[in-house]
Structure 1
Amino acid sequence: MTSPGSPSQARSLIIERLVGDSGEAGHVIGTGRSMGERALPLLQKSLAGELGAQVTVDLRAVEVSRVPDARVHAGESFALTIIPSPTSSDAMTLVIDAPAIAVMVCALFGGDPDQPVAPIERELSQIETDVATTVFQEVAQALNGSGRRSLELRLPVPRALSGNEARRRVLRDGAAVRIVFGISTPTDSGTVTVMIPQRILLATRGIADVHDSEGTTDWRARFSEEVMRSTVTLEATMPLARLTLGDIAGFEPGQVIEFEETAQSHARLSARDKTLFVCEFGKLGQNYTVRIRHPYDAGQDFIDGLMPG
């Protein structure tokens, strides 16, 4: 791992460490809506045409959310899957609720679309979970895209989880765009919720590229005013020395400990327990100071720790 190569990359690194990578809400929603609208005819064709399920697919909502909220509106019975990509273990999270599963099961197995579907008020069966997996596969393929803007999802999708396994699955927190598709017949409807982390959109859809060439990305364009007004406490620490546990056990009150020769140039500036910059400790007039040298690189620090001196 190397240090960021430009000021804009450095700022992005600091932003990710503090609050999680996110984009301006309007741009994120616009990108999510464009993805949903492009995927809609493909999804309609795959479900109604190739699978033979006589259902209608529509785009219900596109909004800014957080990944763990994927299950909030799914009820007690639902199916879930998490799709990885080469750059992320959770590039897309998909949740389908029980009404949508019931609609798909009825449609796929020849049910009358004009008759109400019996609701699912129990744990999902093996067949119902398999149907959910099939729907997830079609949704993921429709949204994946191609070329430079592809999400590069690793397909086929992992088998859907249901029951306690789906309810207890830990979802990594982070800003996301929430895309909700409706699946319906004339009498019933349900939803498929798609959560795509904003860090994935930032990497694949160019949301954060507006001023990167000049390194002048405006932080206010990336966060709400509430976040911009929040304050954090900065802490500067300086490494003391590398000692054995035996040396430390022998410390006594009043003992003086020397700094290492390079300690002054390796102070670290942190906020919320996250190290942000490597600094140089100094003094300006009567005040002590730290001068920023470069952004903190956790990978390089780990390597340096393996090869001290």
Structure 2
Amino acid sequence: MTNPDSASQIRSLAIERLVGDSGEAAQVIGAGRTMAENAVPLLQKRLAGELGAPVTVDLRAVEVSRVTDARSHVGDTFAMTVVASPASSDTMTLVIDAPAIAVMVCALFGGDPDLPVSPIERPLSQIETDVSTLVFQEVAQALNNAGRRPLEPRLPLPRAMSGMEAKRYVLRDGAAVRIVFGISTPTDTGTVAVMIPQRILLGTDASADSPATNSDWRARFSEEVMRSTVALEATMPLARLTLGELSNFEAGQIIEFEETAQSRAQLSARNKTLFVCEFGKLGQNYTVRIKHPYDAGQDFIDGLVRG
């Protein structure tokens, strides 16, 4: 069985099993900003090659967020896509708002950049969705080449979603970095936001120079995770019975604990067993004392032996 050497190791093990690790906010933002700043000139160049009129690309924000918040910063009209890679099915989640779509459609089809574009306050048309897909393609490829290691998005990207399809799409939750690019003409501006899970970002961090750095990341957890609460459940095995014996149970029947049951209590949270404990009592209160982390493999073997 695994026996951590310190309370900090036990704490890290419990948190990792429950929610997965995430980096410290300042370091995650630093890694995301490095990637985003490298991507801006690449994206500017790529869009210039596609458009009939110039647009300006700038970096608006880099912040710690969650993947499920990807749609929370846009109105009712937007387009979205989720990009897969060999590392993950959701390496990037990209969302473009209505003003940015209007800017891109106007620029792509030769609109006057000095005149305001008409705002989009209706469901997106086929052409507007296709233009959104084009923008996502350029953003993904710019970010792919902006880190020390490529993100390797699977190309071509999935066609952009909009309307109820985009609003109902289920996003897998997880700690992420949110990168917001501005797309502007002299009269209008909009945004394209990219959510990259921290587990993906840390593998492409341009400042990751050694295995020691990656090991350090795994040992750190964000304040958000440390403040989260979970409900603990302690269970204790009763007895091993046949189905026939179980079917004969009646109301009021007393069931005896096994002789070793008190030392085999299990502490769980979110339906995940974390530790093996010893059941006891302190004054008027019942207690459990942590003995060691739960080992599913060893528990299976012990079950065969007891059987």
TM-score range, shorter chain: 0.7 to 0.9
Q: Distance in 1 between matches of 2:23 and 2:77?
A: 32
Q: CA deviation at 1:6?
A: 11
Q: Distance in 1 between matches of 2:42 and 2:22?
A: 28
User: 1:248 matched to which residue of 2?
Assistant: 246
Is the Cα contact below 8 Å between 1:20 and 1:175 reproduced in 2?
Answer: no
Q: Distance in 2 between matches of 1:213 and 1:173?
A: 23
User: 2:268 matched to which residue of 1?
Assistant: 270
Give the superposed CA RMSD. 4.1
User: What SS class does the counterpart of residue 85 from structure 1 fall into?
Assistant: coil
User: 1:45 matched to which residue of 2?
Assistant: 45
Q: What is the 5 A alignment of 1:177-216? A: 177-205=177-205, 206=208
Q: Which amino acid counterpart does residue 40 of structure 1 have in structure 2? A: V
Q: Distance in 2 between matches of 1:216 and 1:40?
A: 29
User: 1:100 matched to which residue of 2?
Assistant: 100
Q: Distance in 1 between matches of 2:234 and 2:98?
A: 52
Q: Which amino acid counterpart does residue 128 of structure 2 have in structure 1? A: E
Q: Distance in 1 between matches of 2:67 and 2:210?
A: 20
Q: CA deviation at 1:31?
A: 0.7
Q: Which amino acid counterpart does residue 37 of structure 1 have in structure 2? A: E
User: 1:154 matched to which residue of 2?
Assistant: 154
Distance 1:290-1:27 versus aligned 2 partners, 3 A rule:
same
Residue by residue, what CA displacement relative to the aligned partner does 1:70-126 show, whole Å, maximum 9, x if unpaired? 112211110000112233222211000111111111111111111111111100001
Is the Cα contact below 8 Å between 1:47 and 1:53 reproduced in 2?
Answer: no
User: 1:165 matched to which residue of 2?
Assistant: 165
Q: CA deviation at 1:269?
A: 2.4
Q: What is the 5 A alignment of 1:1-309? A: 14-145=14-145, 149-205=149-205, 206=208, 217=219, 219=220, 222-224=221-223, 228=226, 234-241=232-239, 243=241, 246-252=244-250, 253-257=252-256, 259=258, 267-277=265-275, 279=276, 281=278, 290-296=289-295
Q: CA deviation at 1:250?
A: 2.0
Q: Which amino acid counterpart does residue 270 of structure 1 have in structure 2? A: S
Q: Distance in 1 between matches of 2:67 and 2:5?
A: 29
User: What SS class does the counterpart of residue 276 from structure 1 fall into?
Assistant: strand
Identity of aligned residues (%): 66
TM-score (norm. length: structure 2):
0.79
Q: Distance in 1 between matches of 2:209 and 2:11?
A: 15
User: What SS class does the counterpart of residue 186 from structure 1 fall into?
Assistant: coil
Q: Distance in 2 between matches of 1:229 and 1:62?
A: 22
Q: Distance in 2 between matches of 1:77 and 1:160?
A: 13
Is the Cα contact below 8 Å between 1:23 and 1:207 reproduced in 2?
Answer: no
Q: Distance in 1 between matches of 2:253 and 2:57?
A: 75
Gaps of 5+ in 1: none
TM-score (norm. length: structure 1):
0.79
Q: Distance in 2 between matches of 1:243 and 1:81?
A: 53
Distance 1:14-1:84 versus aligned 2 partners, 3 A rule:
farther
| Count of aligned positions | 300
Q: CA deviation at 1:10?
A: 8.1
Is the Cα contact below 8 Å between 2:96 and 2:191 reproduced in 1?
Answer: yes
Gaps of 5+ in 2: none
Q: CA deviation at 1:129?
A: 0.3
Is the Cα contact below 8 Å between 1:40 and 1:59 reproduced in 2?
Answer: yes
Distance 1:259-1:111 versus aligned 2 partners, 3 A rule:
same
